[in-house]
Amino acid sequence: MEKILYGLKQTVFGKPLSSDSESEVLLPKYIALPVFASDALSSVAYAPDEIILTLSMAGILFASGSIWVGLAVVAVMLVVVASYRQNVHAYPSGGGDFEVVTDNLSSKFGIGVAAALIVDYILTVSVSISSGAQYFLSIVPQLGNHKLLMCGIILCLLVVMNLRGVKESGAFFAIPVYLFIFLMGVIIVFGFWKYFTGSLGHAPTAHLGVVTNSEFRDGIFGFAAVFLVARAFASGCTALTGVEAISNGVPAFRKPKSQNAASTLLILGFISTIMLISILFLSNVTGVKYVNNPAEDLTINGMPMPDSYFQIPAIGQLAFALSDSFSLLFFVVSIVTGLILILAANTAFNGFPVLGSVLAKAKYFPHQFYTRGGRLAYSNGIMILAIISAILIVISGADTSKLIQLYIVGVFISFTFSQFSMIIHWNKLLKTCSNEKQIKKMKRSRIVNCVGFVMTLVVLIIVIITKFAHGAYISIFMMAIFYFLMTKIYKHYNKVAKQLRVRTNNKKIRTISGKTKAIVLISNITRPAIKTLSYAKFSNPDSIEALTVAVDNKDTQKLENEYLKQDLEIPLKIIESPYRQITRPIINYIKKQRKANPNDMIIVYIPEFVASKWYEQFLHNQSAFRIKTQLHYINGVIVSSVPWRLDETIE
């Protein structure tokens, strides 16, 4: 059975790779782009929808201003990309914003940024898989009742591919990412060509009316207008998510690592901005409608849409507009867009495990997250990210509109603190640098980070104000939980290290000076019990005794008679248990022994069965497990398990 499971594991996840193979799994730029940038690239699939959706609350005319909101988002994106190109050169070790903030501010701020990034990665997986499933449902709306099942299957496939290794999964996922870029290029070029030649068709929702939200039916002026635009801008800024993943993933790039990461960031920024602004423009001129609740917010000939109406996202509607009817283009675009949205989750599956490893090294995460698995991927990080994301998808019902409200708060917290920290970084270097050429370069870099800090801070304030009541408070609460957990983990590891540290003080290291007492737990006279008694006697303790608990008088008398027949020359101690408890009387007895002889060391020997089949193990050793667990908390007590294979023969 064990060989079969091992063979199955190798088939699914691949053969283990040696540590010497680590250089072979490093990524060239053309693979790193789909691996780390798919999140940001895929944002053009839902960021335009969110902008249009928010502005549509005030009616069709207000929604036509989406292009200006898009331009503001593009401006922020260009500054953030330029800023992060500085980060990857200054901090190439893979710690990303956590390392930048910790180094220039303090560990407390660093933990806060790490908590924000963790929440962002979890939401990236949840949002991406949910929105990807939404695109697939636009092709086959009959599967609408099985959206959660579809999300579960997608999540499992992503986990399996990532456990096979970064390079292998990256090469596999590169195809749909580049196909998505190609198709977006076709839609943009073909769309603009048709627009300028006057042959551009209409979106399938162009003839529909939009019902103005009740709070805006009397008109939208002043603060209400500013607030709605700000909310649309905050939703559109989801297009910036994923930029920070490249700074966390610098160690995965081929040499020169920093230069390749910076180049990938530049390519990402160029492609994303062109896509975002072009899709918003073409959506405006083709009359794309996208609302929160189609059955209530859309009308046809003055009548509300039926409940069964399925809303097609903006990119899918553009594919319709280019062909004037259902076409192969719409079908292909919907499938590829769904794939790229799913692959956006892959960015988190590459960024989160690396961040987890950095945090584990700094004692803020469990040590298990530090090491790589058999395929040189951070397996534990991949698994825990999948589990938490799955829980969030189920809780939200895979509703992208609900999840999107929780999004980007974390990423803009990390953006803002990272930019401020980089300003401090340049100030430190400027104080010690005397080279005029380098001073000028550092000052230019500082200006970029200053602009980035101001812009990301403004966006962060807008996001918190406009989205707090709509779900952002949940993200902040999740960050607080992770912050609390990381501080507790750090304190625990420091406490353990302090207790384990050897203090010699130029004196001879203290060793055990008392006597050793062996206690063998038995319940029946069996071959495993005899083997355990022999093993304990062979270890040559200062004193030894067998210990049993009298639960049933007849069974105890039978045990005592059989024990005497064996003539083992080891005294048998019987503990009375009128309430038929086993664990507590044993623990209390051993505690009394420790209290009576505090300098002595007690070794408790426990016979344990090793079943020939793994599932049979659940039928044995339950009492032994409970006793061992409690004995571990008694100072001066050592527990020794003596295994007995159930197929073992007498030697």
Please write the tens of the pLDDT for every residue from 441-487: 888 888 988 988 888 888 888 888 877 777 778 888 999 999 999 99
pLDDT above 60 (res 280): yes
Coil, helix or strand at residue 210: strand
pLDDT above 50 (res 195): yes
pLDDT above 70 (res 6): no
Which pLDDT tens digit goes with each residue over 420-429?
A: 998 998 898 8
651 falls in which pLDDT band (50, 70, 90)?
very low
Which pLDDT tens digit goes with each residue over 179-192?
A: 888 888 988 998 99
Instruction: Assess contact for 344 and 43: CB atoms under 8 A.
Output: yes
Amino acid at 354: V
Res 645: pLDDT: 78
Facing residues of 304 across strands? 299
- Between 170 and 608, where is the model more confident? 608
pLDDT above 60 (res 219): no
Lowest mean pLDDT among 16-25, 396-405, 635-644: 16-25
Which pLDDT tens digit goes with each residue over 130-151?
A: 877 776 776 666 665 677 888 8
Res 1: pLDDT: 46
What is the third-level CATH fold of 516-645?
A: Rossmann fold (3.40.50)
Task: Please state, in angstroms and rounded to a whole number, the distance separating the CA atoms of residues 393 and 145.
Answer: 15
Instruction: Assess contact for 162 and 377: CB atoms under 8 A.
Output: yes
- Average pLDDT score over residue span 263-279: 88
Lowest mean pLDDT among 16-25, 86-95, 552-561: 16-25
Res 544: pLDDT: 93
Res 5: pLDDT: 47
């809303």: which residue's tokens? Answer: 311
Angle at alpha carbon of residue 203, lines to 197 and 208, rounded to 5°: 130
The domain ranges of the chain are 24-494, 516-645
363 sits in the region (left: phi over 0; alpha: psi -120 to 50; else beta) called left
Two tokens, residue 389: 């994301």
**Which ranges of 210-327 does DSSP label H, i.e. alpha helix?**
222-236, 243-248, 257-286, 294-297, 314-323
Task: Please state, in angstroms and rounded to a whole number, the distance separating the CA atoms of residues 122 and 407.
Answer: 10
Burial class (CB in 10 A: 0-12, 13-18, 19+), 501: exposed
313 falls in which pLDDT band (50, 70, 90)?
confident
Res 2: pLDDT: 46
Coil, helix or strand at residue 378: coil
> What is the pTM (predicted TM-score) of this model?
0.70
Res 481: pLDDT: 94
Res 474: pLDDT: 85
Task: Please state, in angstroms and rounded to a whole number, the distance separating the CA atoms of residues 302 and 646.
Answer: 78
């189609």: which residue's tokens? Answer: 294
**Which ranges of 64-95 does DSSP label H, i.e. alpha helix?**
66-90
Task: Please state, in angstroms and rounded to a whole number, the distance separating the CA atoms of residues 528 and 621.
Answer: 12
Which pLDDT tens digit goes with each residue over 611-636?
A: 766 666 666 657 788 888 888 888 88
- Average pLDDT score over residue span 92-101: 77
Total number of residues shown for the chain: 651
Two tokens, residue 91: 């901090």
Res 545: pLDDT: 93
- Between 486 and 23, where is the model more confident? 486
Coil, helix or strand at residue 456: helix
pLDDT above 80 (res 525): yes
**CATH code, residues 24-494:** 1.20.1740.10
Which pLDDT tens digit goes with each residue over 234-270?
A: 778 877 777 777 776 677 777 788 888 888 888 888 8
Which pLDDT tens digit goes with each residue over 491-519?
A: 988 887 787 665 655 555 555 557 889 99
Res 553: pLDDT: 83
Residue 626 CA, chain-centre distance (Å), reads 33
- Between 471 and 165, where is the model more confident? 471
Q: At what angle do helices 107-139 and 328-361 cross, to 10 degrees?
A: 160
Res 189: pLDDT: 92
Angle at alpha carbon of residue 200, lines to 282 and 300, rounded to 5°: 80
Sign of CA dihedral 290, 295, 300, 302: negative
- Between 64 and 285, where is the model more confident? 285
Lowest mean pLDDT among 154-163, 298-307, 381-390: 298-307
- Residue 205: CB atoms within 10 A of its CB come to 24
Instruction: Assess contact for 459 and 432: CB atoms under 8 A.
Output: no
- Average pLDDT for the chain: 79
